[in-house]
Amino acid sequence: MTQERNEGGDLKIGDPNDACPSYEGRIEFTILGVDDERAIAKMPLQSGILNPFGTVHAGATLWFADVTATHLALEGRHPTQGMKGFPLAISLNAHLLGNRSDGSFRAEAVYIRRGRRISVIRTQVRGDDGGLIAEITTSHLRAT
């Protein structure tokens, strides 16, 4: 397959407006509860978070898990812009094990290690049938 290149040797893509479609969507979720040891959230599966195959985009699943873990690490505080102690994610390890096209996802985040500066949290995302969709481990650093 021959690809066209411009004078500089870069691939010639053409009109950026024709290159790929634009996408629009939003992610809705509800935090169902947070206590000292866990946070639980629910996210309805809707068209704005589905990939071209009709299942949930991996980025939406990771975002949902991260937001659930962040609510646990906030320890009951409500986030505000520029707040001290906001738990910034500094690492994320994800295993995407399944997917769904309808229903909802439920996330449960629990501490693996709860530190003064850095906490490590494991979040499992499951479908309505209880099937494991993803297991994500995040590390959070308290902003100063």
> pLDDT per residue over 129-139, tens digit each?
999 999 999 99
- Band of the pLDDT at 10, cuts 50, 70, 90? confident
Give me the mean pLDDT over the 100-129 stretch.
Answer: 98
Q: How far is CA 20 from CA 9, 23, 24, 42, in A?
A: 22, 9, 13, 31
Sign for the CA dihedral angle at 44, 73, 63, 106 comes to negative
Backbone torsions φ then ψ of 18, nearest 5 degrees: -95, -15
Domain definitions of the chain by residue range: 25-142
Candidates 3.50.50.60, 3.10.129.10, 3.30.379.10, 3.40.190.10; CATH matching 25-142: 3.10.129.10
Q: How many CB atoms lie within 10 A of CB 39?
A: 25
Out of 22-36, 43-57, 82-96, 123-137, which region has the weakest mean confidence (pLDDT)? 22-36
Q: What is the mean pLDDT of the chain?
A: 90
| Contact between residue 122 and residue 109 where contact means Cβ atoms under 8 Å apart | yes
Sign for the CA dihedral angle at 88, 91, 95, 96 comes to positive
Whole-prediction pTM value? 0.83
Query: Who has greater pLDDT, 45 or 76?
Result: 45
**pLDDT, position 3:** 64
Give me the mean pLDDT over the 98-117 stretch.
Answer: 97
| Contact between residue 66 and residue 89 where contact means Cβ atoms under 8 Å apart | yes
